[in-house]
Amino acid sequence: MNLRRVWVQCIKELVEFRRDRLTVALAFALPVAMLLIFGLAIRLQIKNIPVAVQDFDRSPFSRDFIARIDASGELVAIAEPLDRSPTALLQAGDVRAAIVIPPGTQRAIAQGRPAPLQALVDATDVVNALTIKQILTAASVFVGAAYAPPSVASYVPARVALHERIWFNPGGNEALYIVPGVYAVILALYPTMLAAIAMVRDKERGTIVQAYASRLRASELIAGKCLALECIGLAEAVAIMTIGFAVWGVRFAGDPLPLLIGTPLLVCCQVLLGLFIGAATNTVTSAIQASGTVNSLLAVLLSGFMYPVFAMPLFFQWLSYIVPTRHYINITRDAFVRGAGWPSVWSELASLALTALVLAVGAWLPMRRMQMTD
Amino acid sequence: MSGAFSWRRFLVLLRKEFIQIMGNRQVLYILLFPPIVQVTILGYAMSPLVKHLTIAVADESKSPASRRLIDAFTANGVFVPQGALDTTAGVYRAVQSGTVDAALVIPADYARSVARGAPGDVQLVLDGVNSFVANISAGYAALIVQAYNARTELPPPLSPQITFAYNPGLVTAWFFVPGLLGAILMITGVLASGSEGIREKDEGTLEQLLMTPASSLEVLLAKIAPLFVLFMIALLASIALSRLIFGLPFRGDVVLFMSISSIYIVAAIAIGMLISTFAATQQQVVLISLFTALPLMMLSGAFAPIQSMPPFWQTLSLINPLRHYITIVRDVLLKGTGLDVIWPNVLALLAFAIVAMWISAARYRSQLR
């Protein structure tokens, strides 16, 4: 490999990139917009689920019960007229559950008889449904115990007192969870796309023939483009991490070194993936659509960014090991939130390095002959 | 170039566009692959449920009582024990380094205090890096302990009968498929129509079209029609596949659903066409498309709940066609809702489609002149 040729190829890419003002602007505007939207708007914590309550009992118990539900912050109890059926309430779609407290509930509890408290839950959104169930169950046990006869309630000694502690982010600050994840997703999406464009553009314009005719070798072509896009990707990384610090105060929790090594590695993986996609397609549109749709959904959804990887079917858990974002997300979350450093992330760095190697070969293979395809 | 709408010219143009799209294998693949394959794969893979959390247990008590508690903790699949019988320091280290998601510490005097009739103090440490998971698992832990405490011969004072409507099996795919369907149709629709819209400009054939007697409406409609047909096919195929794989129900009216979906697809295509009138090259089209489609996807309720967003963003999401479409798909497919309930969403979608189409037609025309 001739380093001078690599360098020249890199400069050529950067000059070409700089010439298209709109692309330069979007290469930075897209990541920043995404960071801001995710950081400011997206909240996974469930709250304010509207639930209808039909209180036929009108007793101290029912009032306590409703107050308890409301106090959870996750549910908002809305008193509904008693003549509408729970099914009709759900069908209208304004509430996610209909709770019916039948007449005589308090009396039944006080007499130790089973009380017919009922809830119809809209299970369209499964997470909502389970949260509603959790809160209703907890509220009935808690409030029910206060109204139950001594033989039922106070006879049960509490055998366990659970003391919970949430480490690293005790305030449950969601930006602290979302923002380091968005860093990983952004650095997965955009460098890949720009790399795919850089690779396929020459092909579409036909100027790749000049490269084929020259003494440039496939490895030099790929190394040159990779180097140029690595610079762009790192510039994006610096931009979003600076904004993350300025807006949400996301700062290093521990040793920054793994992140400083991991970021170039991830960008390298993504750029090589993009070059591979560019080498395998023939038009800018198909290259970007391939990298955009497939990669965005994989990076966003199978990386553990929003939903935990360990809840997926086993096959996808294995599959996620080859998604570079999954490893990098652990590195960013460790660097900015946990702060454990090397012992917890060295394996992620090793995986990234290995992936980069595999992808480099992958990008090189379709280009190695430096010939036109038919 | 002016004059009345001519069906003959339109059909000729239509034929040209169909031949061009069908001739391009890669474009066909990109139009049909994401809606069909991604919807089913991701519908299968994505799960927002919290389960299989790894938990390290430090059982300093080493008693039958503490083992019973550990069994209760790990019985229902939310917590999976890893490296049991560790020391307290050991499990703290495990959480610290991120190798486990939670740690349960049962102190040495646990069995003794339980035997005395006093509550045994137990500590649960949760990794808060993922605050979403941490909160949900804290809720589960509280329920587990509550159930464990209440385990006596007597029934609990009050246990509500909870019925899950519409999705009694709690299949998460039923929730995700409508969202994915809407999101993927939006992003592919905008991208594909955007690049179709710019192709003539890019290849320099726009001038040739300009010289023909065809009106801009004819040109635009002929461009939209093949995409529309392909997306309708993709939509039907992905719904059929989801039904086959996940048993996704179709409880509502098919005609209503298809007509609303066609409004939505027209809206997505209109956004793409509009973008193509602003951009100069393919590359710009694609980047602007992503710039538009990604926020629409993120703020739609497809993946993250809208009611949890700050109020400003909730209001903003009202102008998002994807939000309305996803609500409609979930309602019509799962709940069998009719127009009497979803009409505000349909109206919003219709208004959006008309406005977007009108603006992009106007801009396309000025581009032709």
Contact B286 A41 (CB under 8 A): no
Count how many pairs of residues, chain A against chain B, have C-beta atoms within 8 Å: 365
**In Å, how far are A340, A344, B263, B301 from B134, measured between CA atoms?**
18, 19, 41, 22
Q: Identify the weakest region by mean pLDDT among A138-152, B143-157, B317-331.
A: B143-157
pLDDT at site B109 = 86
Q: Tell me the C-alpha distance between B283 and A288, whole Å.
A: 8
> What domains, with CATH codes, occur in chain A?
3-42+172-367 (no CATH), 49-147 (3.40.1710.10)
Chain A stretch 329-348, residues whose beta carbon is closer than 8 A to a beta carbon of chain B: 330, 333-334, 337-338, 340, 343-344
Contact A119 B160 (CB under 8 A): yes
Compute chain A's Rg from CA coordinates.
Answer: 28
Closest residue in A to B172 (Cα–Cα): A126
Contact B69 A160 (CB under 8 A): yes
Quote the minimal CA–CA distance from A116 to chain B in Å: 7
pLDDT mean over B279-295: 83
Identify from B287, B292, B298, B314 which residue to disrupt to test chain A contact, counting A C-beta atoms within 10 A and taking the largest count: B287
**H/E element holding B338?**
none
Identify from A164, A346, A374 which residue to disrupt to test chain B contact, counting B C-beta atoms within 10 A and taking the largest count: A164
Quote the minimal CA–CA distance from A192 to chain B in Å: 12
Nearest CB neighbour to A33, from listed B123, B284, B291: B291
Q: Tell me the C-alpha distance between B240 and B243, whole Å.
A: 5
Q: By the CB < 8 Å criterion, does B54 face chain A?
A: yes
| B319-351 per-position pLDDT tens digit | 999 999 999 999 999 988 889 889 999 999 999
Q: Tell me the C-alpha distance between A103 and A134, whole Å.
A: 24
Q: Does residue B262 surpass a pLDDT of 90?
A: yes
The residue ranges of every structural domain in chain B are 7-46+168-368, 53-149
Chain B stretch 57-76, residues whose beta carbon is closer than 8 A to a beta carbon of chain A: 69
Q: Tell me the C-alpha distance between A240 and A69, whole Å.
A: 40
The answer to whether the CB of B18 falls within 8 A of the CB of B226 is: yes
Q: How confident is the model at residue A368 (pLDDT cuts 50, 70, 90)?
A: confident
Which residues have CB under 8 Å from A365's CB, separation 6+? none
| B185-218 per-position pLDDT tens digit | 898 888 888 888 887 777 777 777 767 777 777 8
| A253-297 per-position pLDDT tens digit | 888 999 999 999 999 999 999 999 888 888 877 787 788 766 766
Angle, in degrees to the nearest 10, between helices A174-205 and A257-280: 30
Contact A43 B160 (CB under 8 A): no
Q: Is A100 helix (H, G, I), strand (E, B) or coil?
A: strand
pLDDT at site A267 = 95
Q: Does residue B285 surpass a pLDDT of 80?
A: yes
Q: Does residue A8 surpass a pLDDT of 80?
A: yes
| B162-179 per-position pLDDT tens digit | 888 888 888 888 888 899
| Interface predicted TM-score of the whole assembly (ipTM), two decimals | 0.81
In one letter, which amino acid is A290? A
Q: How confident is the model at residue A82 (pLDDT cuts 50, 70, 90)?
A: confident
Residues of chain A contacting residue B195, judged by C-beta atoms under 8 Å apart = 285
Alpha helices in chain A (DSSP H): 3-19, 21-41, 60-71, 86-92, 105-110, 126-147, 174-205, 208-213, 218-248, 257-280, 284-289, 296-301, 314-320, 324-333, 342-367
Q: Does residue B358 surpass a pLDDT of 60?
A: yes
| B292-310 per-position pLDDT tens digit | 888 888 888 888 888 888 8
Q: By the CB < 8 Å criterion, does A170 face chain B?
A: yes
Highest CATH level, class, for B53-149: alpha beta
Q: By the CB < 8 Å criterion, does B245 face chain A?
A: no
C-alpha B52: how far from its chain's center? 23
Residues of chain B contacting residue A123, judged by C-beta atoms under 8 Å apart = 164-168, 170
